[in-house]
Structure 1
Amino acid sequence: MTDHYYTHSPQAKRDPRVIQVAVRDIELQLQTDNGVFSKAGLDEATRRLLEQVWLPSDAFVLDLGCGYGPVTAVLGKVYPDSRWVLVDVNERALELAALNTAMFGERCQTICSDGIPPDLVEVFTDVILNPPIRAGKAVVYRLFEDAHRALQMGGRLWVVIQKKHGAPSAYAELENRFSEVETVYRKSGYFVFLAKKLT
């Protein structure tokens, strides 16, 4: 069976490396490896998402499908009073995410799960998601529903998706689940959606 970045236990031979990430006036060295998403560097969708997200200073954020942790690593520095939960189904990615966010200490915790655990209900101010497109539309839409459950009232889901990967249908699905949805970024086929839970 071929490994994917959403494989629970990747069998790909380890080949650890360090990459440079520079975004939001933050420069970091992050550890990556075979068997994780975008191992060679920060992917363009995540970069555009990071450039658009704004958070309350004391945000409690779920980094959903965190991979090796670039979103938390960057935004945890931009917002030094924020707290984070990182979730991914990929054990190897989650190990790397823990290493890449270790500087934040108790501000971060990691959970290995295929989606948001059901006991997390109305706890987060924000959920940030670059969805696992290759896992299929049903999985992506389930993550939307998970995010709605886990957000506080007034909480927000940030999603990046390309037009060729189904941005219009994803927007319609978000409208079915959230009180308000807006497109906060649209360029070169990339969209960043902001969905708010108000009722």
Structure 2
Amino acid sequence: MSADHYFSADPAAPARPGTVEFSVAGRDYTLAVASGVFSAGRLDTGTAVLLRKAELPTAATGGTLLDLGCGYGPIACVLATEAPSTIVYAVDVNARARELAAANAEALDLAGRLRVAAPDDVPADVEFDEIWSNPPTHIGKAGLHAMLERWLPRLAPDGVAWLVINKNLGGDSLHTWLAGLGWVVSRVASQRGFRVLRVARKTA
């Protein structure tokens, strides 16, 4: 496996800068990207499906949100833009991705509410009202499960997680696995080979 894969902590290859343009909920975004981060050439299909099919927060949404595996920040930037009363954490192991996410937040005047962090730097007492993720399935099933087992328990009691998973990379088996752990899992969309899952706690 290349040391410069997008889930490397510190890509060694020189960063070739670029931009990615996309539209969500009637807003246009132009974000800075660079080689060594996930989907540096365009908004990846899974993220596009997630942002189109999941229930985006609104101006009435409050609380604290998490973009898990944020890359250069497209999900985090959309969440913070759509829900200006929230705090959004953008978390990634890749230092280059975090630098880009922070720069994109600054460019969109979101830096005060969009907090970019490495996983170990998120305060332990923070709960999340929403978790959004296009998780890195290529880290393998064990790594993916460990990541979700770490972060999903940090959902607030009435919180919800929105996940997008490639059907051919375990989308249905992940649904089954999460349900087996006691989460309430609903498939809210299936498009272009991706499953969009809504995950919540069981109610008493």
Please give the alpha-carbon distance, in whole angstroms, between the structure 2 residues aligned to 1:82 and 1:178. Answer: 28
Question: 5+ unaligned residues in a row in structure 2: which ranges?
Answer: none
What are the superposed Cα offsets for residues 20-74 of structure 1, whole Å, 9 maximum, x if unpaired? 1212211011000010000011001001101123236114101100000000112
Aligned to 2:142: 138
Aligned to 2:111: 105
Aligned to 2:157: 153
Please give the alpha-carbon distance, in whole angstroms, between the structure 1 residues aligned to 2:14 and 2:135. Answer: 25
Q: CA contact under 8 A between 1:148 and 1:197: conserved in structure 2?
A: no
The 4+ residue runs of structure 1 with deviation greater than 6 A are none
Please give the alpha-carbon distance, in whole angstroms, between the structure 2 residues aligned to 1:117 and 1:181. Answer: 28
SS at match of 1:152: strand
Q: CA contact under 8 A between 2:133 and 2:164: conserved in structure 1?
A: yes
Q: CA contact under 8 A between 1:59 and 1:125: conserved in structure 2?
A: yes
CA RMSD in angstroms, aligned pairs only: 1.8
Please give the alpha-carbon distance, in whole angstroms, between the structure 1 residues aligned to 2:126 and 2:155. Answer: 4
1:73 aligns with 2:74: no
1:162 aligns with 2:166: yes
Q: CA contact under 8 A between 2:80 and 2:114: conserved in structure 1?
A: no
Q: Percent of aligned positions with the same letter in both sequences?
A: 32
Aligned to 1:31: 32
Aligned to 1:12: 13
Q: CA contact under 8 A between 2:21 and 2:29: conserved in structure 1?
A: yes
TM-score of the superposition, structure 1-length normalised? 0.92
SS at match of 2:13: coil
| Superposed displacement of residue 120, structure 1 | 2.9
The alpha-carbon distance between structure 1 residues 46 and 62, as it changes in their structure 2 partners (threshold 3 A), is same
SS at match of 2:7: coil
Q: CA contact under 8 A between 1:120 and 1:150: conserved in structure 2?
A: no
Q: CA contact under 8 A between 1:26 and 1:77: conserved in structure 2?
A: no
Please give the alpha-carbon distance, in whole angstroms, between the structure 1 residues aligned to 2:161 and 2:121. Answer: 16
Q: CA contact under 8 A between 1:19 and 1:29: conserved in structure 2?
A: yes
1:95 aligns with 2:99: yes
Please give the alpha-carbon distance, in whole angstroms, between the structure 2 residues aligned to 1:44 and 1:105. Answer: 26
1:182 aligns with 2:183: no
Aligned to 1:22: 23
**One-letter code aligned to 2:175:** Y
Please give the alpha-carbon distance, in whole angstroms, between the structure 2 residues aligned to 1:14 and 1:90. Answer: 13
**One-letter code aligned to 2:113:** R
Question: 5+ unaligned residues in a row in structure 1: which ranges?
Answer: none
